[in-house]
Structure 1
Amino acid sequence: MRPVMADENENPPKDTPPAGGNPADEQGAADPEKAGDKTSPAADAQGGAGGGKAASGDTPPANGGAAGGGGGGANNTPLSTALNPQIVQAVGTTNHAVLNGAGPGANGIAYQKVAQAAAYAVQDSTDYMRNIMSMASATTGVALQKMLVEKTTDPYADIIKAATQAVTDAQQTFTNVGTASSGVVKDFDSMA
C-alpha cells in the first residue's frame, strides 16, 4: 500500500473546481475587477471587443453580443486604419515601383520589336539586291555569248544595259530601305 501524503487528502485536485466556486474565479479572469478590465479571446468571442462580457445565465449585451456589434464582428473602421501602417506603406511602395517600371519595360520591348522589323527590312533588301545582281550577271553572260556567236550587238547591247540598270536600281532600293529603317528606329527611340 502506498503511503498517503498529508497534502493529498487535504487539498482537492486543481482540475476540479471547489464546491460552489467558479473555475474562472480561481484563475482571476471572470471578475473584471480582478482581471484589470482585460478581455480574453473567449470573452471577445462572446461579447465583442467592446460589447461587454456575458457570463453564463446573463442576457447578452444590447450593443452586439455574439453578433459582434461592439468590435468583435463587423464594424465601421476603415480598412486602411485597421491594418498595420507599415504593411500598407510597403504594399503601396511595391505597387508604385511595379507600375512605374512597367512603362519603360514595355517601351523597351516595343523598341526591340521595331528595331528587329527594321533589320528584317534591310536584310530583305539585301537579299533582293543579291538576287538582282545574280540575274544581271547571268543575263549579261548570255547576251555576250549571243553577241559573239551572231557577231551583232543588236538587241544584246540593250539587254546588257537593262541588266546593269536593274543592278543600279536594286542598289538605290537598298539605300532607301536602309535610310528609312534607320529613321524609323531613331524616331521611335525618341518617342519612347
Structure 2
Amino acid sequence: MDPTTVNPQIIDSVNQTQLATMSPQVVKTSGAGKAYQSVAQSAAIAIQDATDNLRNASTIATTAAGVAISQMLVDPANAELYQTVIQESKDLVTQSTTDLAAIGTAMATLMKEFPSG
C-alpha cells in the first residue's frame, strides 16, 4: 500500500463530519441556539437584579419605618409626619414588587417569543 494514499473510508468520514457540522442549516441552528441561551441568561440577570432591588427596598423601608415609629413614640406631636414616612416606605416596597412582577412578565414574554433555533 502506498503511504501517500489516504484510505477512501477516512476521506468519506471527514467529508461526512464536515457535512454534519458545517452545513448551513447546522450552523444556523447552532447560532440560533447560542443566541437563545444568551438572551435567556440576560433575562435571568434582569430578574435577579429586580429581586435584589426589591430586597434592598424592603430593607430600606423597614429601617425607615422603624425609625419613624421610634420618633413617633418620642415626639407624638409630629405623628402625622412619621405616618407619612411609614406610608412612603410601604409605597417603596409596593413599587419594587410591581417592578419585579413587570420585569418577570416581560422576560417570560421575551423568552416565549424569541426563536430558539
TM range (shorter): 0.7 to 0.9
Q: Is residue 2:90 matched to residue 1:167?
A: no
CA distance in 2, matches of 1:104, 1:177: 28
Q: Deviations over 1:92-149 (max 9, x none)?
A: 6444322232222111111111100000000000000000000000000000000000
Corresponding residue number in structure 2 for 1:27 = none
Residue of structure 1 in register with 2:45 after alignment: 120
Letter in 2 for 1:175: A
Equivalent residue of 1:183, what SS?
helix
Aligned partner of 1:133 in structure 2 is 58
Q: In structure 2, the residue corresponding to 1:154 is in which secondary structure?
A: helix
CA distance, structure 2, for counterparts of residue 137 and residue 111 of structure 1: 39
- Mapping 1:14-25, distance limit 5 Å: none
Q: TM-score, normalised by structure 1?
A: 0.50
Q: Who is 1:108 aligned against?
A: 33
Work out the number of aligned pairs and report it: 105
* Structure 2 counterpart SS, 1:155: helix
Structure with the bigger RCO (C-alpha within 8 Å, sep 6+) is 2
- The answer as to 2:85 corresponding to 1:156 is no
> Unaligned regions of 5+ residues in structure 1, if any?
1-85
Q: Which has the higher helix share?
A: 2
Partner letter of residue 30 of structure 2?
G
Partner of 1:96: 19
Alignment of 1:181 onto 2:104: no
Separation of aligned partners in 2, 1:113 and 1:129: 25
* Structure 2: stretches of 5+ with no match in the other structure: 1-7
- Between the aligned partners of 1:94 and 1:119, the Cα distance in structure 2 is 35
Q: In the aligned structure 2, how far is the partner of 1:164 from the partner of 1:108?
A: 42
